[in-house]
């Protein structure tokens, strides 16, 4: 259920354009210890929802609960009776509890860890037979229910199974729970159906938002926990399928695989084992994959950052930067696919569990990247820490300079938008530090294993010191990047503080998309472009007919020619800006360029948008200049629309001053007055008639 509001947004966005398509997408993975380089078990997930969505990392102390106390999910009304004791646990959580707690991932004091969840859903036929339950168990509350209240991973699976059986599930989900004995992989398939398996040590898996379980031995009660009617529901729904003569769970319960799921599953499997015998267009992907290659924690970090490197595909969010336009649902060049390392990643985590690390320490570490790991670092944390660095705990919903997430998010925005300026430097910086920390962590593991463990105070102090040092480096990097961008293109009057939003759908615009009947058009070609003065505007192209100015030395050096077509509407001006190279070829994608356009006399600018197919597709922050122009920055050229505030006329007075005109609002008091006056007129008429008689 990540999340109700977001799902409504998804439905609305199906018909409009976004600079990057919003996708409800998490990707989980498991690597059995027989396949890892150091004999550890690796598992975890990227948590994907949307950019600019704060996550906090915190420790919840153990507590005693009052008799009858309940845990309530404000997102959907689910209630669960709390036991007498809640164990200490860590979590990476949302900051909007009324929309759902979403504790998501962490350790408890007994060495149980959980990653919850990867969202999935059953096909429509299944949902008709066993529909999801409105107030059932959902992702939003799952970790908060399970992690503080179990002592083993199996207990966690059994608790989920009990709740789904009695109260139902609000949605489909994939959950991974681990302890010293290994990892359990669980699929909550429909309203009351589920299957969980004890994960084998000699396999690895990558699973985005679709079910992956194949055929399982329901008689193996030691390694399989399943609902009683999982096969019956599939048969009743006429969705039952067999592969190699055996009931196949995912093929029976899944809808057709989406492109976003296919691209991430394929890319993840191939990233961990380039020789994996899977093809992009396979009908389905097996959950359990084999590999002759030993997989390290660094390999998994690279997988979670994967953007189709070394393949025939490109990331979907790269499309606009390549000058191919803004991604549009159903009309995207097939070379562009949805990557694991996408802009919607809010945090990523990797559990590294080792047999020789005591359960009191979590049995290992969690490598955590708060913010997308594409441009944010992974830091290791043992399960027995008692506190987290303060920057992890800032729970604002807007940019805050003291927040780990918001600083990481700002770094991401700058690095992604200004790729020519920063290249891979940000990621390489963190990779170098991560390599150092991986070595240090391996030595610490050996030391603590030999000593029988380490105290909570010791590991907390060490993790706090590292986090403080890294956050200072992040802040320094943020300032350095801001300065580079400012020196490159930013006008003196503009702010370097990150905007809370850089895109807006056309559905939120107050300006009409239709052309006004008062349209006027003016066009200028390259011959009308004023050549810059050598000592004044050598970095600027100027269109004299419209007054449009493009400040970017790269454009001048490349001998690009500027052509502008201006369209005047009642409450807007549109500028179709075209750049051509010396060969006469159109150039749509450029380095960051400062665009300056004149403002209609006496008008107030409300918003600036890039247009796509006649719709407002991308909103730009702008600066109002003293010379009655505005400036904004862009890296691509098409049509830009300047919307002006609509000045509402005062309502016209009715000449009669009594009855309202058509369309005017009649107040309650006005109506009362009219009724009273009517009664008075009626009484006077009656009296007049009586007197006349």
With b for 16 or more beta-carbon neighbours within 10 A and e for fewer, the 655-692 pattern comes to eeeeeeeeeeeeeeeeeeeeeeeeeeeeeeeeeeeeee
> For tokens 């649902």, what's the residue?
329
**Residue 444, number of CB atoms within 10 A of its CB:** 18
Q: Rounded to the nearest 10 degrees, how much is the dihedral formed by the CA atoms of 152, 156, 157, 163? A: 150
Question: ∠103-75-24 over CA atoms, to 5°?
Answer: 70
| All residues at 6 or more sequence positions from 649 whose CB lies less than 8 Å from its CB, including other chains | none
Helix pair 153-167, 139-146: axis angle to 10 deg: 130
Q: Which of 1, 22, 23, 26 is the catalytic position? A: 26
Q: Residue 48's closest CA among 404, 430, 373? A: 373
> Catalytic site residue 302?
no
In 24-181, which ranges are E strands? 27-31, 41-48, 56-60, 63-64, 70-72, 79-81, 85-86, 89-93, 105-107, 113-120, 172-179
The β-bridge relationship of strands 639-644 and 572-580 is antiparallel
CA proximity to 172, closest of 124, 120, 126, 133: 120
Q: How far apart are the first and last CA of the chain?
A: 80
Contact 109, 89 (CB under 8 A): yes
By the 8 A CB rule, do 333 and 353 touch? no
Closest CA to 634 of 573, 574, 588, 598: 588
Residues facing 567 on adjacent strands: 521, 574
Neighbouring CB atoms inside 10 A of 228's CB total 11
Can you give the C-alpha Rg of the chain in angstroms?
A: 30
Residue for token digits 């007994």? 110
DSSP label of 166: H
Element (DSSP H or E) covering residue 610? strand 605-612
Question: The tokens 């300047």 sit on which residue?
Answer: 642
Residue pair 567/573 in contact (Cβ under 8 Å)? The answer is yes
Q: Are 31 and 295 in contact (CB under 8 A)?
A: yes
Longest Cα separation, the chain: 120
**Euclidean distance between CA atoms 469 and 56, whole angstroms:** 18
The pairing of strands 85-86 and 63-64 is antiparallel
Catalytic residue positions? Answer: 26
């Amino acid at each position: 259920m990540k999340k109700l509001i977001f799902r409504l947004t998804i439905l609305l966005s199906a018909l409009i354009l976004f600079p990057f398509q919003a996708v409800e997408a998490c990707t989980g993975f498991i690597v059995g210890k027989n396949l890892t380089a150091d004999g550890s078990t690796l598992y975890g997930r990227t948590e994907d929802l949307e950019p600019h969505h704060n996550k906090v990392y915190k420790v919840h102390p153990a507590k005693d609960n009052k008799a009858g106390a309940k845990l309530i999910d404000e997102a959907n009304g689910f209630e669960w009776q709390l036991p007498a004791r809640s164990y200490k646990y860590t979590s990476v959580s949302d900051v909007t509890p009324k929309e759902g707690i979403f504790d998501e991932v962490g350790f408890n004091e007994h060495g149980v860890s959980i990653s919850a969840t990867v969202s999935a859903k059953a096909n429509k036929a299944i949902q008709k037979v066993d529909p999801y339950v409105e107030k059932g168990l959902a992702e939003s509350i799952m970790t908060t229910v399970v992690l503080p209240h179990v002592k083993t991973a199996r207990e966690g699976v059994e608790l989920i199974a009990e709740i789904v059986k009695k109260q139902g599930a609000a949605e489909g989900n994939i959950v991974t729970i681990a302890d010293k004995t290994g990892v359990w992989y669980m699929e909550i398939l429909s309203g009351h159906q589920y299957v969980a398996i004890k994960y084998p040590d000699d396999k690895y898996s990558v699973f985005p938002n679709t079910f992956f379980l194949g055929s399982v031995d329901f008689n193996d009660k030691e390694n399989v926990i399943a609902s009683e009617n999982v096969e019956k529901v599939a048969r009743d729904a006429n969705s039952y399928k067999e592969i190699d003569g055996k009931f196949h769970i995912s093929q029976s319960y899944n809808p057709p695989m989406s492109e976003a799921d296919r691209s991430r599953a394929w890319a993840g499997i191939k990233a961990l084992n380039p020789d994996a015998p899977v093809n992009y267009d396979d009908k389905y992907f097996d959950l359990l994959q084999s590999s002759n290659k030993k997989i390290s924690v660094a390999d998994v970090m690279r997988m979670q950052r994967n953007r189709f490197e070394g393949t025939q595909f490109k990331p979907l969010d790269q499309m606009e930067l390549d000058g191919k336009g803004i991604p549009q649902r159903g009309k995207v060049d097939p070379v562009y696919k949805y990557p694991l390392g996408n802009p919607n990643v809010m945090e990523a985590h990797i559990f590294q569990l080792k047999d020789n690390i005591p359960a009191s320490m979590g049995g290992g570490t969690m490598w955590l990247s708060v913010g997308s790991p594409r441009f944010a670092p992974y830091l290791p944390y043992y399960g027995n820490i008692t506190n987290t660095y303060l920057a992890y705990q800032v729970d604002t919903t807007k940019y805050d300079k003291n927040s780990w997430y918001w600083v990481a998010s700002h770094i991401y925005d700058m690095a992604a938008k200004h790729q020519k300026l920063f290249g891979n430097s940000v990621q390489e910086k963190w990779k170098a530090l991560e390599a150092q920390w991986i070595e240090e962590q391996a030595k610490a593991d050996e030391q603590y294993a030999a000593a029988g463990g380490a105290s909570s105070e010791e590991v907390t102090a060490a993790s706090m010191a590292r986090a403080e040092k890294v956050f200072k480096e992040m802040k320094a990097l943020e300032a350095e990047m801001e300065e580079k961008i400012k020196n490159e293109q930013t006008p003196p009057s503009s702010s370097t503080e990150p905007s809370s939003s850089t895109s807006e759908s056309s559905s939120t615009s107050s300006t009409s998309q239709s052309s006004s009947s008062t349209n006027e058009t003016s066009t200028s070609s390259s011959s009308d472009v004023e050549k810059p003065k050598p000592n004044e505007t050598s970095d600027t192209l100027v269109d004299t007919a419209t007054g449009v100015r493009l400040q970017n030395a790269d454009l001048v050096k490349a001998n690009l020619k500027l052509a502008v077509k201006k369209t005047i509407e009642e409450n807007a001006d549109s500028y179709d800006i075209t750049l051509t190279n010396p060969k006469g070829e159109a150039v749509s994608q450029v380095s960051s360029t400062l665009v300056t356009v004149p403002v209609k006399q006496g008008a107030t600018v409300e918003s600036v948008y890039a247009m796509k197919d006649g719709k407002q597709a991308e909103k730009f922050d702008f600066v109002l200049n003293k010379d009655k122009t505005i400036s904004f920055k862009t890296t691509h050229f098409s049509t830009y629309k300047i919307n002006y505030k609509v000045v509402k006329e005062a309502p016209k007075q009715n000449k009669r001053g009594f009855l309202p005109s058509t369309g005017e609002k009649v107040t309650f008091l006005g109506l009362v007055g009219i009724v009273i006056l009517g009664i008075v007129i009626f009484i006077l008429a009656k009296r007049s008639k009586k007197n006349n008689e």
